[in-house]
Amino acid sequence: MAARSEVLQEWPHFSKEAPRLFAAPGRVNLIGEHTDYNDGFVLPMAIDRRTVVAAAPRQDRKIRVHSRNFNETVLLDLENPGSGCRGVWWDYVEGMAQVLLERGLKLPGADLLLASDVPIGAGLSSSASLEISVGLALWSLSGQPPDMRQLALAGQAAEHRYAGNRCGIMDQFIAAFGRPGNALLIDCRSLDVRLVPMALPGVQVVVCDTRVKHALSSSEYNVRRAECEQGVRQLQESMPELKMLRDIGWKQFLEVADQLPEPVRRRCRHVVGENARTLSAVDALGRGDLGEIRRLMGESHRSLRDDYQVSCPELDLLVEIAGTAEGVYGSRMTGGGFGGCTVNLVETGHLDAFRETISRTYSRKTGIEPGIHVTSPSGGAAEFS
């Protein structure tokens, strides 16, 4: 593995101690978009790209961390943390260490050397793979057995407080709990997780990267969250028991949708429909029903584009091109939107043609060469033995 050998090669130049090696993957969400902060369902899988951390304890209270990706070393003080939210990559490392300390772990100082082959800033959650790999390393050096659930929650807290991103729980949970050959159904209310076998013989998961990120993404994210909350408040007038959009089924929603003004109505329609689609996709995966999966992914994309309005021309173009290619069982935007990636299910025999069509047409129309990653459902965070 690229990141692992890179870290092993560099370590002797970094520290004299023998390192322990840890890793955590990036992820792609198959379906269930913008449902997490509405207490709903998501269905991500870990990808075969990961952040690898080599780690050894130090005698003092410092964390010396080097990122190969940024080619930068910083020295952090466990007793005197910085302010966080500075827009620097080590906010995530310091955040992880501080949250684990607050939760009572006795962390030693540490030398950390890390490298990642998760594309950074592409919506494949390099940030959670960084948090969880570093968190697992620090927790393990403390001598206590890591609790993966607590580790994932600590990663989310670090991202909220030290990176200033009010993310849901999906990225950290899949980085912690991914399993080869499986997707993970996460109930974002109860935090129950269920492995969902991805038994689709002859079908590959292909991630296509628009290589654009529009500035709108974080401001619009907050607007969408507020619109969902407004929808709940208005629906509570006739449904006092309602707490979150998660609590309404599709049929029930159709009966009350008229009470909502636009654009709140269409925002809520997306969330309610997407929760239902996610559960239907789990059933369809169980039956190996590729036709149904294609239908659900198509509906998910249209709903994100037209009702939730978080897509962009580049994402729509990738989905449109995929729709003209042969052997494609579903294509949709994945992640928060306004750029980032699409997720596609492609028959193995049509992979080369798919790659060719996407690359040629997308670059002709946008002037940008798309990223194309064939991946497979992979394992979650672990120490290398």
Minimum gap (Å) between residue 38 Cβ and Mg ion: 19
Tell me the CA distances in angstroms from 246 to 34, 40, 224, 334, one per residue in order.
11, 5, 15, 20
Provide the CA 149 distance to its chain's centre, in angstroms: 16
Kindly write down the DSSP assignment for every residue of 317-365, as one continuous string.
HHHHHHHHSTTEEEEEEESSSSEEEEEEEEEGGGHHHHHHHHHHHHHHH
Minimum gap (Å) between residue 129 Cβ and ligand ADP: 7
Annotated active-site residue in 36, 39, 171, 209: 171
Q: CA-CA distance, 204 to 197, in Å (whole number)?
A: 14
Q: CA-CA distance, 9 to 175, in Å (whole number)?
A: 25
Does 22 help bind ligand ADP (rule: CB under 6 A)?
Answer: no
**Which of 38, 126, 210, 309 forms a contact with ligand ADP (CB under 6 A)?**
126
Tell me the CA distances in angstroms from 224 to 13, 166, 275, 297, one per residue in order.
47, 13, 16, 21
CB closer to ligand ADP out of 276 and 304: 304
Does 182 help bind ligand ADP (rule: CB under 6 A)?
Answer: no
**Which of 98, 127, 133, 172 forms a contact with Mg ion (CB under 5 A)?**
127
Q: Residue for token digits 């037209």?
A: 306
Does 29 help bind Mg ion (rule: CB under 5 A)?
Answer: no
Q: Which stretch binds ligand ADP (CB under 6 A): 94-102, 123-131, 200-208, 214-222?
A: 123-131
Q: Which stretch binds ligand ADP (CB under 6 A): 125-133, 184-192, 232-240, 323-331?
A: 125-133
51 binds, among Mg ion, ligand ADP, none (CB under 5 to 8 A by kind): ligand ADP
Does 116 help bind ligand ADP (rule: CB under 6 A)?
Answer: yes
Give me the 38-77 binding string for ligand ADP, x by CB under 6 A, dash otherwise.
-------------x---------------x-xx-------
192 is catalytic: no
Does 234 help bind Mg ion (rule: CB under 5 A)?
Answer: no
Strands 109-116 and 41-58, sheet pairing: antiparallel
Q: Which amino acid is at 78?
A: L
Tokens read off for 374: 């064939």
**In terms of Cα–Cα distance, which of 114, 119, 146, 112 is closest to 48?**
119
Q: Which stretch binds ligand ADP (CB under 6 A): 95-103, 112-120, 253-261, 301-309?
A: 112-120
Residues of this chain that bind ligand ADP (CB under 6 A): 51, 67, 69-70, 89, 92, 114, 116, 120-127, 130
Residues recognised as catalytic: 171
